[in-house]
Amino acid sequence: MEEKVRNTTEHFEETYLAACAQQSKYTRGRRIEEEVCHVRSPYQRDRDRIIHCEFFRKLKGKTQVFIVKNDSFRTRLTHTLEVSQIARTIARALRLNEDLVEAIALGHDLGHTCFGHSGEEVLDGIVGSFQHNQQSLRVVDFLERGGKGLNLTYEVRDGILNHTGEGIPVTMEGKLVKLVDTLTYLCHDIQDSIGAEILRKEDIPEEILEVLGNTHSQRVNTFVQDIIKETSKKLKEGAEPNIYQAEKMYDTMMRLRSFMFTKVYNGELCLREKEKATYIVKFLFDYFMERPQDMPVRYFNMIEKEGIERTIVDYIAACTDDDAIKLFQRKVIPSPK
């Protein structure tokens, strides 16, 4: 009976999914071979492993854009959930593998540091090479489960690694998550920036609003419908399997991205908070370089194999914002205890 459940999933994928979609039975597999699950497909198992892992839970305490506390602002976790929801909606319309899309989306930011991109930039400057997508792969390959990793499938690992930067995912599902990640943060960061009173709707160039819409839901819906329409049209015309946008929509997205970097990401509030975050992360790195024994045992025991710098970076990157702030306070503020 259990085996029939997985067989039903495989039959559905074979008969329903688009020709360019990734079927779970054709996965390139895991780095360590495992016994097949008779209920769940490989990508469903990957999704479940990510949802139940420690680093996924930590995302709720990591900055998306604004370090300033406000319960209505997105965190790295809520961003991840929004990427998953939007990507799955498009995947269903294009008849792509929703399970694979969901697994990639839920795992893509597992390696993000405390204080968002500010923390990432600090660690990159300290050690010479630190990118959150590479760290996300390190999380699922090694850091989770006390060094055992999650042993995910090749396609999920590839989508996580190549969700940002110049790398191109091997699957349509990975390509979809890569684009959706960008449009998702642009749309919700507008909403949070207006909520933080560092941006007014009137500040957004009119030519952007004319294309995307005046509300958050309108902007998301505009992007979603365009991707579905353009990708479907291109594939019917025999174009190379890819995720497509209309030229006008792509240009508008890039114009919005440039606007957000100028007005928000490199704006006064973010730069002021970035300066504080930078100081904390640098302090913690220098502190643990001198006193590595003060790290938790699980990390201290990694030093012999991974090296002290790599271990400290792993520890700081795993910290939530509150973890890092409390660590800093304990090290510099006198305590009667």
What is the predicted pLDDT for the residue at 336?
A: 65
What is the predicted pLDDT for the residue at 69?
A: 65
What is the predicted pLDDT for the residue at 47?
A: 98
Distance CA 49, CA 212 (A): 36
Q: What are phi and psi of 72, to 5 degrees?
A: -90, -15
| 277 contacts 122 by C-beta, under 8 angstroms | yes
What is the predicted pLDDT for the residue at 337?
A: 59
What is the predicted pLDDT for the residue at 1?
A: 55
For residue 166, the SS3 value is coil
Sequence letter at residue 120: E
**Which one, of 273, 300, 272, 277, lies nearest residue 288 by Cα?**
300
What is the predicted pLDDT for the residue at 135?
A: 98
Distance CA 123, CA 114 (A): 11
Report, as ranges of residue numbers, the positions in the chain whose pLDDT lies below 50.
none
- 108: region left, alpha or beta (phi > 0 left; psi from -120 to 50 alpha): alpha
User: What pLDDT digit, counting tens, does each position of 172-228 carry?
Assistant: 999 999 999 999 999 999 999 998 888 999 999 999 999 999 999 999 999 999 999
Distance CA 266, CA 216 (A): 22
Distance CA 316, CA 125 (A): 14
Residue 248 CA, chain-centre distance (Å), reads 26
What is the predicted pLDDT for the residue at 163?
A: 98
What is the predicted pLDDT for the residue at 226?
A: 98
For residue 63, the SS3 value is strand
What is the predicted pLDDT for the residue at 2?
A: 58
Distance CA 192, CA 223 (A): 19
What is the predicted pLDDT for the residue at 199?
A: 92
**Which one, of 142, 64, 109, lies nearest residue 310 by Cα?**
142
- DSSP-derived letter for residue 60 is G
Q: What are phi and psi of 181, to 5 degrees?
A: -55, -45
What is the predicted pLDDT for the residue at 272?
A: 86
Distance CA 305, CA 19 (A): 44
Distance CA 175, CA 55 (A): 23
